[in-house]
A and B are shown apart, each in its own frame.
Chain A
């Protein structure tokens, strides 16, 4: 079992839709949770992070962590074609190791 599991998609939505991306993790010791965005043939770039449980909002993006169910979510409001990318969830463990999900490919259609 992978430490962080993620539905690979692909997910296709019309422009302006609300997008929900989700991950689950197995290790209850994980405390830092991150979302990276990766455009085709590029390296991942950090989009958002949260510490422990709760919500964090940044513009059209909201990251949510529910530690009781070991569930990580990213919501994108008013999605744009420029949001089309692969989204990777990740968690940091014991300061030294980062575990990534397999990524969900999102396509926002104009």
Chain B
């Protein structure tokens, strides 16, 4: 199993550009989520999904869109990039959220710089 994969690893965008961060998992996990990690702020939840076709907002959703058309994929879209979105983005997945599941498996991250 590849686990959770993310592409690209690095990206530089200009203000106003849009892009999609890709995330895929091959563990048949129902729950997937996106976090951003900033110095001194820790990991903050952007959006999450409890299954194909179901998404919801996390702690810091503004400026980001998600969709979940398959169990495996959970892309994160930046609609109009801003310097405040410079961060490291992590995708994570977990077994069914309706259980005592506690472990999230994280991808390697995407380092995004917006100039």
* Cβ-based interface call for B74 (8 A): no
- CB atoms of B44 and A43 under 8 A apart: no
Give CA–CA (A44, B98) in the complex, Å. Answer: 22
> For this complex, into which size category does the number of interface residues on chain A fall?
20 to 34
Q: Which residues of chain A are within 8 angstroms of B61 by Cβ–Cβ distance? A: none
Interface string of A30-62 (1 = CB under 8 A from B): 001010000001111110010100000000000
In the complex with contacts A96-B50, A97-B48, A45-B106 CB distance below 8 A: yes
Give CA–CA (A4, B4) in the complex, Å. Answer: 26
- CB atoms of B104 and A88 under 8 A apart: no
- CB atoms of A92 and B48 under 8 A apart: no
- CB atoms of A101 and B42 under 8 A apart: yes
- CB atoms of B104 and A46 under 8 A apart: yes
The B35-83 residues at the A interface (CB cut-off 8 A) are 35, 40-45, 48, 50, 56, 58-59
Contact residue among A6, A8, A32, A88 (Cβ-Cβ distance under 8 Å from B102): A32
Interface string of B80-104 (1 = CB under 8 A from A): 0000000000101000011010111
Q: Which residues of chain B are within 8 angstroms of A80 by Cβ–Cβ distance? A: none
Q: Which residues of chain A are within 8 angstroms of B106 by Cβ–Cβ distance? A: 43-45
- CB atoms of A97 and B42 under 8 A apart: no
- CB atoms of B58 and A97 under 8 A apart: yes
Offer 8 A-B interface pairs, CB within 8 angstroms, sorted by A.
Answer: A42-B108, A43-B4, A43-B106, A45-B106, A46-B104, A88-B42, A97-B59, A102-B40
